[in-house]
Structure 1
Amino acid sequence: MQASHRISRLTALALGIAGVISVGSAGATGFQIRENSVKNQGRAFAGSATAKNDAAVVTNNPAAMVNLDSLTIRGDVTVIDLTAKFRGGGSAAAGTLLARPLTGGNGGDPGDAQPVPALSIVMPLSGAFEKLTLGAQLNAPFGLKTEYDRDWVGRYHAVESEVKTIDLTFSAGLALTDRFSVGAGLVWERAEATLTNAVDFGSAICRVSIAACTTPNPVAAPFGPQKNDGYAKVKGDDYGLGWIVGLQWKPTDKFSIGYSHRSEIDHELEGNIEFTKPANVSALLAARGITQYNSGPGGAKLTTPSVDTLSLQYEFTDQFRMMFDAQQTDWHSLKSVDIVRANGTPITSEPFEWEDTMMYALGAEYDLSDAITLRGGIALDETPTNDHHRTPRLPDNDRTLYSLGLTWNANEHLSVDAAYTRIEIDSPKIDVVSSSGSRLTGTYKGHADLFGIAAQYKF
C-alpha cells in the first residue's frame, strides 16, 4: 500500500462531505425539518396532510389545497434552539503504543438558535378550471447547524457542521368529486454544506514514520498524537429535482383521510476542501511526495430521503377535532456515502447504515370562540442512527415532542398563529474512531425548544 494511503483510512474530505448527512436537526430525527407550518407544529405535526385552513399543504399534501376557497398567502418562522451537553473522553492514536488521552473540554453547547422560514401561496382557479387549485412554497426541509469549541475533546470528529436545503415547490390540486381530490408537485432543491474538523497530523505522521514520533523519545519527539493539529474545511453545493403526490378522501362530513409521498432527491455535491497544516507537517509531507492532504476539489453523492405521510382527522363537534399522523422517512438511502475526487478517483466509503424511521403524532384543536383556536399534541419520533455508527455531528436518538399552539383570527381575512414545542431526546451514546485514529466515547444529554409564529391572509 502506498504511503499516501497509509497516512489515513479516511481523509478530512471524507469526514467533511460525509458529514453533510449527519448534521443533527433539532426539529426532527436525522436531519429532517418538519417546521413549515406553525399550525402543524401546535398539533405536534398531526393532521399535516388533511389541514383545512393552512396554505402549507402545498408541500404537506397538494391534494388538500382544494380545502382553501380563496387566494391565500402564508408566512411561517420557527426558531429551533437545540441544547446539548457531552460528557466523555477517549484517546488519540487509539490502539497503538503511542495512545494518549484526548485533551480538551466538552465542546460547549453545539446548538445555536436557528430560524426556519417558510412562505406559501395557494390560488384556487375559477370558471372552466374551478376544480383546480395551484400553489407554491419556499421552505427548508432538511438541515441545521451545530458548532463545538475548536479545542474540544471531539475536535477530530466535528467542529462546525452547517447544512442548508432550500426547496421551491410548485403544486396543483384537483377536486375530482366533493369528497375526493388528488394533487402533485415539482420540487426544486438546493443543498449547501460547510463542514470543519481538526486533523491530528501528528498521529498521521506516526503511521508513516514511527521514528519521527519516538526520537529522541515520545515526549520530546517533533511529531506525535495531538502535537501537530491542523484544520480541514469543506464546502459544497448542488441542485436537484424531486416530486410530491397526494390524495384526500372525505368518507363523511366529519372524517378526512390524507396521504402524500415526497420523492428522494439526488445531489452530486461539488466543492472544495481546504487544509491548514503546521509548517513541519507540510515539509515532511512534501519531502515524501504525499499529496493526500493537499487542498483541492472533491465531492460525494447525497440523496435526501423520501417521505410518506398518512393523516386522519375527525371532527367530534363543530368546535373540537382530533388528528393523527403516521410518517415514514426512508433513511435507507443513506447506507453509505462514497467519497471521490474531482477526477473520479474513489477515496473511501463512509458507512452510516441508517434505517427507515416512523413518527407518530396525535393532536387536537378546540375553537374557544370565533376568534381563538387552541391546539396541542404529542409525537414519538424514531432515530435513523444507532450506537455503532452515531457520530458527534449527529448525536441523535429517539425523541418525544410536546406541543401547544393557538390561532387568533383577527378578522375574516387575517389570522395569526403561535406555537411552542418541547423536544425531549433520549440520551445517545458515542463510540467512534476518527480518520487520524482518535477514539471518542461518551454520552449526550439534550433537548430542544421550538418557538413558531405565522400569519396567513385570505383575499
Structure 2
Amino acid sequence: MQPSQRISRLTALALGIAGVISVGSAGATGFQIRENSIRNQGRSFAGSGVAKNDAAVVSNNPAAMVNVDSTTIRSDITIIDLTAKFTGGGSAAAGSPLARPLTGGNGGDPGDATPVPALSLVVPLTGSFEKLTLGASLSAPFGLKTEYDKDWVGRYNAVESEVKTIDLTFSAAVALTDRFSVGAGLIYERAEATLTNAVDFGSAICRVSVAACVTPNPVAAPFGPQKNDGFAKVKGDDYGIGWLVGFHFRPTDKFSIGYSHRSEIDHELEGTIDFTKPGNVSALFAARGITQYNSGPGGAKLTTPSVDTLSLQYEFTDQFRMMADIQATDWHSMQSVDIVRANGTPVTSEAFGWEDTMMYALGAEYDLSDSLTLRGGVAIDETPTNDHARTPRLPDNDRNLYSIGLTWNANEHLSVDAAYTRITIDSPTINTVSSSGSTLQGSYKGHADLFGLAAQYKF
C-alpha cells in the first residue's frame, strides 16, 4: 500500500466513525477520563506514554507510535460503575424568618454503569517515509454524569449533570534516531453539557414580596419556601481545536522515557436555558414584569484543562518490566460555571474553585508465556475540588486505584486485553448554597469499579 493510500484510508476510517462515541461518568478525579487503553488500565495507567505495541499512544504520546511496527487498529471499551450515597440535609430560604428544613430523600445513587469506548489506528509508513508514523484516534478524555431523584434534598443544587467530550485526534511521529522520536497531534473536540436543578420559586417570590408568603398566614399563604418548585435546564454544545506534542527516548535498551503535553481547549457552549414554572408563579411574574426566569438562548464557557505526562519503563528481564507515570492536570481554569443569556446577561454562577492536580501511578507486567501477559498497578489521584466549593454535581475527592489485567495473544495478528480497577474515594463533604438561597450540608461515601475489554489487530 502506497503512503498516500494509507493516509486516505486512515482519514476515511476516522471520519466515518466520528459520531459513534458517547461518554458518561468519569473514572478519574475532576471529570477527566483516562480509559482509552485497557492495557494502560491494567497498570493503573502507568507507562501510558512509553507503551509498546499499543495503538492508544496516538492520543497518549504520539512520539511512542514508532514502537508500533505494523499497521495496527485497536478498540477499547470500559464500563465505569460509580456508586455514591449522600447523608445530610439543609435549609430552604436560609437566613430569613421563613427558613425551614429541606424536604426530600438522599437522592439515590447518582452514579450509573456507563460504557466509555475508544478507537485507535497506527500506520507506519515505508520507503522514503519509513521514519514517519501516522495515527488517528477517537476518544473521550473528559466527561461526567450524575443524576439524582428529582425530589431529593439537594434538588436546588443539582439533579442532572452531564458533560460529554469526543476527541478526533490525528497524530504523526518521526524517528530522528533509533533511540529518539518526536510526535505531534491535532485534536478536534466536540463538547456537550446538560445541567438541571429544581428552582425554589416560592423563596424567590418571598424575597420580592414578603406579603405573598405570610398572608393570610405562612402556612396558608399561596407562596413560600418549597411550595412553588419549578425546574431549570441548561443545555449547550460547541467544537474546539487543541494540540498534542511529545517525545520518546530510550537511553538504553532496557530504559524508556516518554513525555507528552496536551493543550487546553476552549469552548463557548451555546444552546438553551429553559425554566418550567408553576402556573401561579408564571401569573405573578407576568403581572409584575419579572423576566429573569424566562426561557431563551444562552450558554456558558468551558475549558478542558491541559495535561502533562511523564512516563518511565524499565525492563528488568525479557519477561518482567515496571512502569511509572507522573501526570499534572491544569484544572485551575475551572473556577466557576457562569450561565449567561445570548445577549450576555448573567443568569447564574456556580463556584468551583478547582486547583491543579497530580496523579502518580506504578505498574508492572510479566510475560507468563508468548501468548499471555499479566499486569497490575496502583495509583494515587488527587482531586481538584475542595471543601469550600464542592458541589453535588461532582462530589469528588482524592482517590486510590488498584488494577489488574492481562493480554492474550491469540496469534501473531490478534490480541485481546482485559482489566479491572477498583477506585476508593476519600469521603467528600458538602457545604454549599444554591441559586435558590438554600443551604446543603452533608457527606458522601462512594467507590467506583472499572471493567475493561479490548481487541487489537496488527495487519
Q: Which amino acid aligns with 1:240?
A: G
- CA positional deviation for 1:144: 2.4
Name the CA distance, whole Å, in 1 between partners of 2:246 and 2:399. Answer: 27
CA contact (8 A) 1:186 1:242 kept: yes
In the alignment, what sits opposite 1:146?
146
Aligned residues: 437
The within-5 A match list for 1:163-182 is 163-182=163-182
In the alignment, what sits opposite 2:404?
404
Q: Give the direction of change, closer, same or farther, for the CA distance of 1:26–1:426 in structure 2 (3 Å limit).
A: farther
Name the CA distance, whole Å, in 1 between partners of 2:24 and 2:384. Answer: 11
Name the CA distance, whole Å, in 2 between partners of 1:404 and 1:206. Answer: 56
Q: Which amino acid aligns with 2:218?
A: P
In the alignment, what sits opposite 2:390?
390
Name the CA distance, whole Å, in 2 between partners of 1:107 and 1:114. Answer: 19
Q: State the Cα deviation string for residues 205-224 of structure 1 (Å, max 9, x = none).
A: 10000001111111111100
- CA positional deviation for 1:252: 0.2
Q: State the Cα deviation string for residues 228-285 of structure 1 (Å, max 9, x = none).
A: 0001111100000000000000000000000000000000000001111000000011
In the alignment, what sits opposite 1:83?
83
In the alignment, what sits opposite 1:110?
110
Q: Which amino acid aligns with 2:29?
A: T
In the alignment, what sits opposite 1:227?
227
Q: State the Cα deviation string for residues 7-46 of structure 1 (Å, max 9, x = none).
A: xxxxxxxxxxxxxxxx994410000000000000000000
Q: Secondary structure at the match of 1:97?
A: coil
Q: TM-score when scaled to structure 1?
A: 0.94
Q: Which amino acid aligns with 2:311?
A: S
- CA positional deviation for 1:162: 1.5
Q: State the Cα deviation string for residues 379-417 of structure 1 (Å, max 9, x = none).
A: 000000100000000100000000000000000000000
Name the CA distance, whole Å, in 2 between partners of 1:38 and 1:339. Answer: 37
Name the CA distance, whole Å, in 2 between partners of 1:38 and 1:405. Answer: 8
Q: Secondary structure at the match of 1:219?
A: coil
Name the CA distance, whole Å, in 1 between partners of 2:346 and 2:80. Answer: 37
In the alignment, what sits opposite 1:208?
208
Q: Which amino acid aligns with 2:39?
A: K
CA contact (8 A) 1:181 1:247 kept: yes
Q: Secondary structure at the match of 2:384?
A: coil
Q: State the Cα deviation string for residues 337-364 of structure 1 (Å, max 9, x = none).
A: 3332101234454332111000000000
CA contact (8 A) 1:57 1:65 kept: yes
* Larger CA deviation: 142-151 vs 247-256: 142-151
**Correspondence 1:270 to 2:275:** no
Q: State the Cα deviation string for residues 98-118 of structure 1 (Å, max 9, x = none).
A: 011000000000101000000
CA contact (8 A) 1:24 1:31 kept: no
The within-5 A match list for 1:122-201 is 122-201=122-201
Name the CA distance, whole Å, in 1 between partners of 2:385 and 2:145. Answer: 18
* Larger CA deviation: 141-150 vs 80-89: 141-150
Q: State the Cα deviation string for residues 51-96 of structure 1 (Å, max 9, x = none).
A: 0110000000000000001000000000000000000001100111
Q: State the Cα deviation string for residues 301-344 of structure 1 (Å, max 9, x = none).
A: 11000000000000000000000000000001112333321012
Name the CA distance, whole Å, in 2 between partners of 1:73 and 1:212. Answer: 66
Name the CA distance, whole Å, in 2 between partners of 1:46 and 1:192. Answer: 29
**Correspondence 1:291 to 2:286:** no
CA contact (8 A) 1:24 1:396 kept: no
Q: Secondary structure at the match of 1:270?
A: strand
Q: Which amino acid aligns with 2:182?
A: V
Structure 1 residue runs of 4 or more that deviate by more than 3 Å after TM superposition:
23-26, 346-350
In the alignment, what sits opposite 1:281?
281
Name the CA distance, whole Å, in 2 between partners of 1:181 and 1:273. Answer: 48
Q: Which amino acid aligns with 1:152?
A: W
CA contact (8 A) 2:269 2:300 kept: yes
Q: CA RMSD in A?
A: 1.1
Name the CA distance, whole Å, in 2 between partners of 1:149 and 1:243. Answer: 39
Name the CA distance, whole Å, in 2 between partners of 1:99 and 1:114. Answer: 39
In the alignment, what sits opposite 1:34?
34
Q: State the Cα deviation string for residues 143-181 of structure 1 (Å, max 9, x = none).
A: 121111111100111111111110000000000000000
Name the CA distance, whole Å, in 2 between partners of 1:199 and 1:340. Answer: 17
Q: Secondary structure at the match of 2:206?
A: helix
CA contact (8 A) 2:183 2:245 kept: yes
Name the CA distance, whole Å, in 1 between partners of 2:346 and 2:443. Answer: 33
In the alignment, what sits opposite 1:12?
none
Q: TM-score when scaled to structure 2?
A: 0.94
Q: Which amino acid aligns with 2:206?
A: C
CA contact (8 A) 1:26 1:81 kept: no
CA contact (8 A) 1:202 1:226 kept: yes
In the alignment, what sits opposite 1:311?
311
Name the CA distance, whole Å, in 2 between partners of 1:234 and 1:335. Answer: 19
Return 5+ residue gaps in structure 1 as ranges: 1-22
Name the CA distance, whole Å, in 2 between partners of 1:370 and 1:39. Answer: 16
Name the CA distance, whole Å, in 2 between partners of 1:404 and 1:174. Answer: 33
In the alignment, what sits opposite 1:18?
none
Name the CA distance, whole Å, in 2 between partners of 1:298 and 1:421. Answer: 39
In the alignment, what sits opposite 1:417?
417
The within-5 A match list for 1:372-391 is 372-391=372-391
Return 5+ residue gaps in structure 2 as ranges: 1-22
Q: Secondary structure at the match of 2:282?
A: helix
Q: Which amino acid aligns with 2:440?
A: L
Q: Which amino acid aligns with 2:281?
A: V
* Larger CA deviation: 441-450 vs 228-237: 228-237
